[in-house]
Structure 1
Amino acid sequence: MTRKKILTVLRVAIALITLAAVVYAIVHNWAEVSVHLDQISWSTFLWSTLAAAVGTWLTMIGWKTLLRDLGSDLHLAPASGVYFVGQLGKYLPGSLWSVLVQADIASHLKVPRRRTAVTGLLALGLSLLTGLLVGLPAASFLLRSDSSGFDWWLLLGIPILVVLCVPQLLNAIIDRTLRLLKREPLEHSLSAGAVLRAVVIFISVWVAFGVHTLLLARAVAGDGAHPDLTTAAMTGYALSVSLGMLTVVLPAGLGAREGLLTIILATAMPTPAAAAAVAIMSRFIVTIVDVVAALGGWLYARAHHLVTEHHAADERERGISV
C-alpha cells in the first residue's frame, strides 16, 4: 500500500473514530441528556442537518473563490473532491493537516502546491476572523454570569478584524511568509473583489451554522427558552468553533468547541444539561456531514480519475490493472 493510500485510510479512520467518540459521549451521558435529545424531532434533526450541509458547502465555495483568484479555477466537482477529502485532515491533531492534504490532492490536477497551501491558509484565516466577527455578541455570554445586556465595547474588535481582511495587508503577509520559507512568490495577488466575496461567503457559512444550532436549541429548550436564545445560538456556534480552531492540539477543536458552546447556550436555556445536549448533537451532525461530503468528493474524484492519476500510472508500471 502506498504512502498516500495509507494517509487516506488514516484520515477516514480518524473521522470515523471522532464520530464514534461523539456517539459514545451521547450514550455515556444518556441519563442526563436523553430527556433533552428526545425533544429533537426527526424534522428538526433533518432541517438542522441541511443547514449544516449548506454551511459546509459554502465553506468549500469560499475556498474555491480564493483559489480561483490566485490563478486556478477548478470546476465545482473536482474542487469539491479536493476540498472535502482534504477537510478530513482537520480531525488529526493540529490545524494544518487539511491544508497539506488539499495541496497534495490538488497537485494531481496540476495546481501548484504552494498556491493550494496559501489558499488553504487564507481560507482558515478568513474563516477564523469572520467567525470571531459574527461571534462577538456571544462573547458577552462567556464574560458575564447572566445574559442580560450586551457589552458594547466588544464591538471595538470589529475594526481590527476588518483591517486584517484588507487585500494589501494579506498580500504583504503572504509574500513575507513565502520569503521566510524561501519559496517563490505567487504568480497572482489577491484582489479586493475576491477577498470581499470570500468574506461574505464565510459570514454566510456562520449564519448557516447558526441556524443549525438555533433549530436544535429551540427544540430542546421548548417553553423554557430565554429571550436571548436566538442571539446565543446564532452567534455562539461561530465563536465556539473559532476559539476551538486555536486549540491546535485538539482534532477539529474536539471538546473545547462543545464546552464553549455549552457555556454560551446555558445562559439562555433551562439547564446546562440541555445546552450540553445541543452541543453534542451539533457535533454529531456536523461530523456526519463532513464524512458524507468527503465520501462523496472522494467517490466522484476516483470515478473521474481526478486524484488517482499518479496512482494509476504507478500501478500500470507494475503491471496492475486499474
Structure 2
Amino acid sequence: MTRGPIVTAIRVAVAVLTLGAVVYAVVTNWADVSVHLGQISAGTFLLSTLAALVGTWLTMLGWRVLLADLGSPLHLAPASGVYFVGMLGKYLPGSLWSVLVQADIASSLRVPRRRTAVAALLALGFSLLTGVAVGLPAASYLIRRQADGFDWWTLFALPVVVVLLVPRILNRLIGAALRLLRREPLEHDLSGRAVLSAVLLFGLVWATFGLHTLLLARAVAGPDVHPHLGVATMTGYALSVSLGMLTVILPAGLGAREGLLTLILATAIPLSAAGTVAIVSRFIVTIVDVACALFGWLYARRHHLLVDRRAEGLAPRA
C-alpha cells in the first residue's frame, strides 16, 4: 500500500473514532442531555441559527476581500456561488478540499486557480489568527478548569498574532511559503486596507458565532447564571474552532471542536449542559453550511459555473 492510501485510511479511522467517542458520550449521558435539549426554545434555536448564518456570510465576505485585493474582484452573487459550494469540502478528512473545489469553480469566472487557492488559504490563516486572539481568555479557562477571570500570561500570544497580521511581514511570509511550494509569487502584495478589512470581518465572524453559542448556553444554564458565562462562550467558541482547524485529519475539526468547547463551557455551566451546547451548535452550523452551499450550488448551476469550460475550448487563464 502506498503512502497516500495509508494517510487517507488513518484520517478516516481517526475521524470515525473521534465521532464514535462523541456519540458514546452523548448516549451515556442522554438522560441529562435530553433535559437540556428541552430547555432550548424554538425562538432561541432560530436566533442562534440566524447568528450562525450571519457569521458564515461574514466569513465569505472576508475571503472575497482577500480575493479582490489579489486581483480578482467578484460580485457578491458569484462569490457566494464559489465560496459556499467549496465550503462543504471542509467536512472531508484533510480540510483542504474546499480550497481545491473553490479554485475549480472560480476558474469558470476566469479567476486563476492559484489566486483562488492563495485567497482561500489566507482566509483560513486570518480566521485562525483572529480566532486565537479572541479566544485567549478561554485558554486560561481551559487550563485552570474554572471561569474566574483569566491569566495575564495568555496575553503574551497577542503580540505574536498582531505581528503576523502586519502587511509587510504577512506579505513576506506569503512569498516565502510560495517559494517553499515552488509556486510563482503573487502579482502584487496584499494592501494594508485589505488586511485591516479582513481582520475586522473575521473579528465580527467570531463575535457572531460567540453570540450564537451564548444564546444556547444561557438557555441551558438555569436561573443562576455564572458571571463569566458570557466571556466563556464568546471566547470559547473562537478558541475551540481555531484549535480544531489545526486537526486537519478530522473533517471540520469534528469531535475536537466539540470536546474543547465542552471543557471550556463546563467551567461556567454543568458538564452535561456544556455538552448539549456543543452538540446543538455543531448541528446548527452544519445546517447553515448545507443551506448556504445549496444556495451557492443553485447559483453556480444556473450560471454554468460547474461546467468544465475546457471541454468547450474555453480553458480559463492559468
With the length of structure 1 as denominator, give the TM-score of the two structures. 0.87
In the alignment, is residue 98 of structure 1 matched against residue 98 of structure 2? yes
Give the deviation of 1:95 after TM superposition.
2.6
Partner SS for 1:222: coil
Q: 1:108-153: CA deviations, max 9, x gaps?
A: 1110011011101100001000000000111111011322232012
Flag structure 1 segments of 5+ consecutive residues without an equivalent. 1-16, 315-322
Alignment of 1:147-166 (within 5 A): 147-166=147-166
1:149 counterpart letter in structure 2: G
Sort the Cα spacing of 1:21 and 1:74 in 2 relative to 1 into closer, same or farther, 3 A. Answer: farther
Counterpart in the other structure of 2:222: 222
Alignment of 1:239-254 (within 5 A): 239-254=239-254
Sort the Cα spacing of 1:66 and 1:25 in 2 relative to 1 into closer, same or farther, 3 A. Answer: farther
Give the deviation of 1:310 after TM superposition.
2.5
Sort the Cα spacing of 1:24 and 1:151 in 2 relative to 1 into closer, same or farther, 3 A. Answer: closer
Counterpart in the other structure of 2:12: none
In the alignment of these two chains, the number of paired residues is 295
- Counterpart CA distance in 2 for 1:23 and 1:85 is 27
8 Å contact kept, 2:22–2:255: no
2:272 counterpart letter in structure 1: A
The runs of at least 4 aligned residues of structure 1 exceeding 6 Å deviation read 20-27
In the alignment, is residue 141 of structure 1 matched against residue 152 of structure 2? no
- Counterpart CA distance in 1 for 2:23 and 2:208 is 27
8 Å contact kept, 1:147–1:267: yes
Partner SS for 1:223: coil
- Counterpart CA distance in 1 for 2:26 and 2:161 is 40
- Counterpart CA distance in 1 for 2:293 and 2:80 is 8
Structure 1 stretch displaced more, 45-54 or 176-185: 176-185
Partner SS for 2:261: helix
Counterpart in the other structure of 1:275: 274
- Counterpart CA distance in 1 for 2:264 and 2:160 is 24
Counterpart in the other structure of 1:305: 304
Flag structure 2 segments of 5+ consecutive residues without an equivalent. 1-15, 314-318
RMSD of equivalent CA atoms = 2.1
With the length of structure 2 as denominator, give the TM-score of the two structures. 0.88
8 Å contact kept, 2:149–2:228: no
1:165 counterpart letter in structure 2: L
Alignment of 1:193-212 (within 5 A): 193-212=193-212
- Counterpart CA distance in 2 for 1:279 and 1:223 is 20
Counterpart in the other structure of 2:235: 235
1:188 counterpart letter in structure 2: H
- Counterpart CA distance in 1 for 2:180 and 2:61 is 29
Structure 1 stretch displaced more, 134-143 or 165-174: 165-174
Partner SS for 2:52: helix
Alignment of 1:1-322 (within 5 A): 28=27, 30-269=30-269, 271-308=270-307, 310=309, 313=312
Counterpart in the other structure of 2:10: none
Partner SS for 2:222: helix
Sort the Cα spacing of 1:243 and 1:111 in 2 relative to 1 into closer, same or farther, 3 A. Answer: same
